Amino acid sequence: MKRRIITTGDGSKTIHIEDWNEQYHSKHGAIQEAYHVFIDYGLRLFKKDHVHILEIGFGTGLNAFITFLEAPKKELKVDYVGVEAFPVSMDEANELDYCTQLNADDHQKVFAKMHQSPWEERLLISEDFSLLKQKKDFYEVNEADLFNLIYFDAFGARVQPELWTEELFEKMFKALKKEGVLVTYAAKGSVRRALQTVGFTVERLPGPPGKREMLRAIKK
């Protein structure tokens, strides 16, 4: 499928898939969305802790990189697992220029390392941040009671409805520890009901720019 880099509403970039008319991030602001959904309503629930994070849709690496930047502010030690079936190329990652957008040019090597590191091999990015990238289908996630936090950042249900099903959310529920949290930009009623059906307690929260609501689900 044809892909091109576009600039979003907050000046940061994302990848647009022309055949689907779909972006990797919100066209209203890639960085704004990442902070709002995954950091503000996800990572910031934790402080002075060892947090195990699963990202469904590693994609451009933006969520992982922002998590790396924000974790020290909360004194967090992070083990991060990013699952991706169709990796972004290094050329695309460089063109996105997230380090400049995030005023993190001193971490250019970290961002490059995240993309260049081998798949299926845990990498120590810093003393308090490890990364394991897994190249596989999301339905192949089979961990149990391992993660504190899931960033559910799959492509939207309009183009990939198969990624927003009870079957996949059941895997997410199983993968989380008790009191574990799943956050997603999605707010569709069908997604909320699927999360509730598999056992999550779900709350609607204010969405990022361009979206009225988003969802956060907790494994009680």
- CA torsion, ordered 176, 177, 179, 184, to nearest 10 deg: -20
CA distances in angstroms from 62 to 48, 76, 180, 205, 219, listed in the order given: 23, 18, 22, 22, 26
CA distances in angstroms from 18 to 21, 61, 89, 108, listed in the order given: 5, 21, 17, 29
Asked whether 93 and 115 are in contact (CB, 8 A), the reply is: yes
CB neighbourhood size of 93 (10 A)? 22
Per-residue pLDDT of the chain (220 residues; tens, 9 = 90+): 789 999 999 999 999 999 999 999 999 999 999 999 999 999 999 999 999 999 999 999 999 999 999 999 999 999 999 999 999 999 999 999 999 999 999 999 999 999 999 999 999 999 999 999 999 999 999 999 999 999 999 999 999 999 999 999 999 999 999 999 999 999 999 999 999 999 999 999 999 999 999 999 999 9
